[in-house]
Structure 1
Amino acid sequence: MRPAGLIRSLGAVVAAGALALLPATASAATPSTATATATAVSISPVDLDGPTISTVKVTVTNAGPERMRSLKVSFGGPVGWAVQPSVLQMDGSLAKGASAEATFRIQVPERRPGFTVRTFTATATYRGGDGAGSATGTRTQHSGTPLANLAAAYNNVGVTDESDTKPGNYDGEGNSFSAQKLAAAGLRPGGTVNALGAELRWPDVPSGTPDNVSAAGQAVALDGRGSRLVFLGSGVTSGASGTATVYYADGTSGSGSFGFPNWSFDPANAHGATLVASSDGRNRPDGYGNAGIAYRVFAHSIPLDPAKQVAFVVLPGNGNIHLFDLAVAP
């Protein structure tokens, strides 16, 4: 429930909402060209230290070849967060290269414990400009701290020693990779794994202890700049696919879908994955078995914006995806 005082305060400042023309940039005097550039919509930082009312400014820049007319700007946040005014309209028109700034107030509730991601969206509708008729901008902010690294999210035992197989439960049925057979295939604790242009590491933990992440939407800190984010792992069913979201240091985000084949039997290129290593047999609750059957580890990737610094990644919400490492590739 929102504090009544905040609701009254939000109503009191509605009249302060405004859509103001900002000083034109030098490009406003540049002659029009036949090629239009997309209208830009940006959102200022939002104060998430609630309960409070945060003032937010949305800037719309006309990068198209024509004057922009009938400009309206709307702004919204998470479900249930009140915003006033709901829409602002600009009188007159906006020259090429000029910007307009819309001011909104949003009611921010009390901060939740733990890590949360908040997404805000602004939409501009207009005539003229780039001719598209509308443009949207988003801003993503978070409160709390992501897990320090993937190891901090380990929640599954995927590798056991053949002399003690009982701790393993990679597939939910008590089975696991054999540490000895993985070593024979080149995967040793702390060892380097080169895949899809990235340098990854095999988990440097003792056999029979948590060594991988069953994906459940965990947020994991990651530093780097490159062309792709590479995941190392495998699936425990044929439905091990999902979407990961990458958050950049500038507050923007991007997402991509990937998947892994089942650790055995599925085609090695299922979901577009790349085979990294294949081990012989597996460990079962009663000891090593299934010799002659391959149990495998794969790599897959999603694209990154190479111009931006990665801050953290939110993993897919599909527990059939198991991850041993992730890294940014140049």
Structure 2
Amino acid sequence: MSPYRPEEDFLAPPVSLTLEPTAPEPGQTVTLTAQLTNTTRILLHGTVLYLSVAGGGQASSIGRLAPGASVTRTWRTRLSDDAEGVLPFIAHAIFDVHENGSDCTRTTSSLRLPYQSLAGAFDNAGIASDNDVTAADIDGSGSSLSAEALASAGLTPGAPVTYDGTTFTWPDTEPGDPDNVVSAGQTVRLAGTGGRLAFLGTSTWGAGKGPGKVVYADGTEQDFSVEVPDWYGAYASAAVVLPYRNTPSGRDDNPVSLFTFGVDLADKELRSVVLPKVGDGLGSGGPALHIFAMTVA
């Protein structure tokens, strides 16, 4: 084989990654399998292949890998009992290309597990105090709900609040901490029975429209859809109207609104809900639906 020239560019060799089973549950043992193929024209030295999931991993020493050769490594690991949300699975290889240089290649796939609670899915800080207006960003441009304005309406951390006969628990969070989920198709565990699944939230950058799904314990599914108005303004249909919002430059004395919405349920035990798919999240160029609370009533 011809020697490596330091000034020569080449494509990093590919590494693939598979997971078995493909849809595991929390607490289940999974097997990661990675294959590294040397598609370059040079001999790789000191090759090490890493497999990892959720912060833990295993390294395998491979050593020399000739051009055209492939190597496969597997790793069995147990997911934690409380695993939830997006878990990244990574295969990462490093290798020497000559005595004074090294390179690497990697691939990543993600497993989406149900969240154990709505609070576990919180991924946006939408509430800031009036003396620290930059601590939160509900709309991608630095605006936020005022903690003080919310408190004047009874929406303090962990407080029960009732609208249209339905009682919600306001997020038990401090200003600047994640306090809502940007609804984008996440799955959240549910339990119990009831006549209605209700949400408390609002939308930014336009009305939040999208489909969701309720999954019952018997495996049946119920589709639903929502349409939640934009937060900016005072609406007769709103559950809460706040007199102002915070912006990066300070208080904006225009009202903003929160809304209740939901779906009527069948008289069956619940398993989970797939939150409405409204765009691809905050900052995706379209409306974002923010859910602060959820209850089965």
TM-score w.r.t. the length of structure 2 is 0.58
- Matched residue, 1:176: 144
Shift of 1:115: 8.1
- Matched residue, 2:14: none
Distance 1:197 1:310, change over 3 A: farther
Q: Are 1:236 and 1:263, in contact at CA under 8 Å, matched by a contact in 2?
A: yes
Shift of 1:237: 2.6
Give matches, 1:105-120, under 5 Å. Answer: none
Q: Please tell me the residue identity of whatever aligns with 2:119.
A: A
Q: Are 1:237 and 1:261, in contact at CA under 8 Å, matched by a contact in 2?
A: no
How far, CA to CA, are the matches of 2:257 and 2:168 in structure 1? Answer: 16
Per-residue displacement from partner, 1:142-185 (whole Å, max 9, x unpaired)? x9841110111111111001111112110111000010011112
Among 206, 212, 219, the alignment partner of 2:174 is 206
* 1:162 correspondence with 2:122: no
Q: How many residues align?
A: 187
Q: Which runs of 5 or more residues in structure 2 are unaligned? A: 1-28, 32-78, 86-110, 282-287
- Matched residue, 2:90: none
How far, CA to CA, are the matches of 1:195 and 1:224 in structure 2? Answer: 21
- Matched residue, 1:303: 264
- Matched residue, 1:290: 252
How far, CA to CA, are the matches of 1:202 and 1:217 in structure 2? Answer: 22
Give matches, 1:82-97, under 5 Å. Answer: none
User: Which shows bigger deviation, 235-244 or 148-157?
Assistant: 235-244
- Matched residue, 2:231: 263
- Matched residue, 1:314: 274
Q: Which runs of 5 or more residues in structure 1 are unaligned? A: 1-48, 52-112, 117-142
After the TM superposition, list the runs of 4 or more consecutive aligned residues in structure 1 that deviate by more than 4 angstroms: 113-116
Structure with greater proportional helix content: 1
Q: Please tell me the residue identity of whatever aligns with 1:232.
A: L
How far, CA to CA, are the matches of 2:123 and 2:292 in structure 1? Answer: 11
How far, CA to CA, are the matches of 1:228 and 1:149 in structure 2? Answer: 17
Q: Are 1:256 and 1:303, in contact at CA under 8 Å, matched by a contact in 2?
A: no
Shift of 1:50: 11
> What is the aligned-residue identity percentage?
37
How far, CA to CA, are the matches of 1:262 and 1:311 in structure 2? Answer: 30
How far, CA to CA, are the matches of 2:191 and 2:241 in structure 1? Answer: 29
Q: Are 1:165 and 1:208, in contact at CA under 8 Å, matched by a contact in 2?
A: no
Give matches, 1:142-153, under 5 Å. Answer: 145-153=113-121
Q: Are 1:157 and 1:170, in contact at CA under 8 Å, matched by a contact in 2?
A: yes
